[in-house]
Every structure is written in C-alpha cells, then in structure tokens.
Amino acid sequence: MLLTRVPSPLHQSNRRTAYVPLLRSISLPPGMFNADTLARYDGKTGSKGLYLALLGKVYDVEKGAKYYREGGSYSFFAGKDASRAYITGDFSDTGLTDDLTGLSEESVAGLANWIEMYHKDYPYMGKLVGRYYTITGEKTAELRRIEELLSRAQAVKDKEDEQKKMFPPCNSEFNTKTGHRVWCSNQSGGIERSWDGVPRRFHPPGMSQERCVCVRTTGAPYDNPSATTNNGDLSNPNLKEYPNCEPSSKSCKLK
C-alpha cells in the first residue's frame, strides 16, 4: 500500500511523523472499494446503485431499497461502513463510523445477527479498503480482533442454547389478584419437546442470578445419557426446589 507522510499533531515538539494510506490516489483492484467509491452507491439521485458495508464487506442492498434509499428508515447506512451504529444506535455523523473502539465484547456480539442477515439476504460485492481490509483484500489486525470477539461470543451463545435444551425456561405470569406463577409445558421457553418438566430454581455456575427452568423428571440425565438413573435431571447440583411448592407439581406460586 502506498503511504504518504503527514505532520503528526506532535510534530512541533518531537518531530514524529504519522503515516496515512493514499487510498484516493491509487487504482483499486476489482472487487475493492474505498470510502470515495463506496459513497457513489448511496442510493441518492445520480448514484451508481445502493451499497453499504459492514465490517468492511460490501453488499448490494437494492432489494431492500425502501429501507436504504433516501428517506428510508436505514438510509443513513447507504454508501458507507457504519458498523458502530448497528450496535450503539447513534445515527449522527460521528456515530456513523466503522470504528468499534471502546465497545464491550458483549456489545460487539450484537453485530452477529446483522452479519448473518446481510450474508443471507443481499449479494456480496467486495471489500472496503481501510480499517478491516488491505488494498489486496487481506484482513487487517483489527478485523481479526473483532472476529475473535465474535467467535468467543458465538461459543457462549452455543453453550447457552445447549443449556436451554437441557433446562428450558419456565412460563411465567403475574396477576394482581393471584400473584406470580411459574409453570412448565412441552413448549415453555420456546423449546419444543416431548416432556413438560417441573419448575426449579437454577443457578448456573459463575452467574449472579438464578432463573426458573423446567426440569425433566424421568430417564437419564441430559448430559449423561448412558446413566442408569431414572429421575431425569432432578439431581443436578445447581437446582433448588421452590419453597411451598409440591416437588412434582408443574406449577408453582411465588411470593
């Protein structure tokens, strides 16, 4: 990549020099964009099309023109990479940036659904030279850092999803007359299954709060299917019964 020397803000005091890429003065390989060429696809009158970038990958969002063209609810994403705004919801000029610096790992993980959606629904057009890709299309250190965060977040989500299969969340309702009730069914927590289960207080290791889960009462434990026991997952050490509730009841009233 060609570089140019520009005075550092500290130039007067210590003569240090900063370097910035000459992205606007070199020809781009096929499938590569820079900020200027991508901006020509902002969907406004006279533009070349309707593109946007997310983490440096460029997509043609013409199919969603009613959202991304001028006047649409997502028009501010067109013609640029505004990855940070997908997380923060800051759609000001300063918020519409690709810089994720300072955001928590949990926040960055929120990009996963957007990445999946664009990859699935919109044609991939190329890469944006800058923060996430070099002019030859190689990943930058910053992109590798973000991908590592997303990978860790996905591993956590996969573990949580597996845990929900073992211990689906309870149904819950509150009524001013009857109070708070939790109960189990074969679809509670959005987890469809062949059993209902009974409500238990579940306190996962490392978590500060417990939650209500439905526990299978027959067969071998979920995580040890070869066991000869026949009380499901009731013996799990992270479970507690609700006070004043019959252990075999599918419904419990809480105080």
3-state SS track over 199-210: EEEECCCCCCCC
Written as six digits, the tokens of 64 are 């969603």
CA distance linking residue 141 with residue 131, whole number of Å: 9
The answer to whether residues 121 and 92 touch, using CB atoms and an 8 Å cutoff, is no
Judge: domain 3-158, CATH 3.50.50.60.
no
pLDDT band at 207 (very low <50, low <70, confident <90, very high): confident
Model pTM? Answer: 0.71
CA distance linking residue 10 with residue 174, whole number of Å: 62
Angle between helices 141-166 and 111-121 (to 10 degrees): 100
CA distance linking residue 200 with residue 210, whole number of Å: 10
Residue 8 reports pLDDT greater than 90: no
**Residue at 160: amino acid letter:** E
Tell me what pLDDT residue 25 has.
54
The mean pLDDT value for 44-63 works out to 97
CA distance linking residue 59 with residue 125, whole number of Å: 5
Cα angle 90, 56, 3; round to 5: 110
Q: pLDDT (tens digit, 9 = 90+) per residue, 124-151?
A: 999 999 999 999 999 999 999 999 999 9
- Domain segments of the chain as ranges: 3-158, 167-254
Tell me what pLDDT residue 204 has.
86
Tell me what pLDDT residue 2 has.
42
